[in-house]
Amino acid sequence: MPEAPLLDVRGLRVRFNAQVEAVRGVDLTVERGQTHCVVGESGCGKSVSSLAVMGLLARGAKRSAAHMRFDGQDILGLSDTALQRLRGDRMAMIFQEPMTSLNPAYTIGSQMAEALTRHRKVGKQQALDRAAELLTKVGITAPGLRLAQYPHQLSGGLRQRVMIAMALMCDPELLIADEPTTALDVTVQAQILRLLRDLQAELGLAILLITHDLGVVARIAHKVSVMYAGEVVESASATDLFAAPRHPYTQGLLGCVPIPGKIKRGDPLGSIPGTVPRIADGFTGCGFRDRCAHAMPQCAVSVPQRDDGAGHRHLCHLS
Ligand code: SF4
């Protein structure tokens, strides 16, 4: 029997107020040792979905799901304390801007050590030794010096490496990375993606990576979910999705990025006119219909889920 996925979320919904539903029935699975990328434009619900999984939604937001399992355990009904124990221990998260997680008033060493001592019975020196070991693992030289520095003394690329090292302090099985390379320049971006791939190969990490960048997806994803207006409109293995995208939105997204071998120098890139709509209560049909060149009357009424039986699914009247 195949092993159950490490993270298995079914029918996730997030509502911010009575009128607006930001996430509408999302399914997500992350297999052990693999990377699942969730891709889409700003406002499509991808970051909100990851925050909902971690139990980090803003006050007032409501989440519900048919089920949300981590390593077979239901995490939807966990108390705040139990969820806090899981976070930073078996599930860790890194963000686009490391300064949102790093405290400018404390040294890198004390923050990394605390990430371990909060969850494990270890002394400060043992935690600092682990921190130095992980800084070396993420490619930071002179770890002793870095541990004594404050976040503002590091470059953006170094801070993101520190965040990754800090996330690994308790040896998590799942790393959720929300736009981890967006704020970095292209060279550093490539280094961080290579680092995540290498760490995954070495540690068997499962990664849920949130991005708006299909170039990042092409480099790192095993599986991809394309989100639009709070729904997953297409999901497939990365190979299948790039070879044969089925949903008009995915096709539009792929038309906007230069893909080696598929586009010639000087060819114009496409664009998708319009913006992601806010979905109000009582909305029916396809959320993409105002931007879709293939929209037909039935798209305003319903939208079928199509499944090729081999793991490639999309929400659309077109087959
Ligand atoms: Fe376009 Fe209709 Fe398919 Fe939506 S369901 S993507 S509007 S064809």
Q: What is the pLDDT of residues 293-311, one digit of tens each?
A: 999 999 999 999 999 999 9
Q: Which CATH architecture has domain 7-90+173-315?
A: 3-Layer(aba) Sandwich (3.40)
Residue 256 CA, ligand 1 centroid: distance in Å: 19
For ligand 1, mutation pick of 226, 276, 296, 299 (most atoms within 8 Å of CB): 299
**Mean pLDDT in residue range 222-234:** 97
| Alpha carbon of 81 to ligand 1 centroid (Å) | 43
Asked if residue 135 lies in contact with residue 165, where contact means CB atoms within 8 angstroms, the answer is: yes
Q: Which residues line ligand 1 (CB under 6 A)?
A: 247-248, 286, 288-289, 292, 294-295, 299, 303, 316-318
Q: Quick one: pLDDT band at residue 43, thresholds 50, 70, 90?
A: confident
Q: Where are the domains of the chain?
A: 7-90+173-315, 99-169
Indicate the pTM of the whole model: 0.92
> For residue 223, how far is its CA from the centre of ligand 1 (angstroms)?
23
Q: Quick one: pLDDT at residue 21?
A: 86
Provide the pLDDT confidence category of residue 262 given band limits of 50, 70 and 90: low
- The closest residue, in CA terms, to atom 3 on ligand 1 is 316
Closest atom of ligand 1 to 293 CA is 1
- Beta-strand relationship, 62-64 and 35-39: unpaired
Q: What is the pLDDT of residues 140-188, one digit of tens each?
A: 999 999 999 999 999 988 999 999 999 999 999 999 999 988 878 888 8
Strand order in the sheet with 206-211: 91-94, 174-178, 206-211, 35-39, 223-228, 231-237, 313-315, 305-307
pLDDT on residue 94? 92
Neighbours of 31 (CB within 10 A): 17
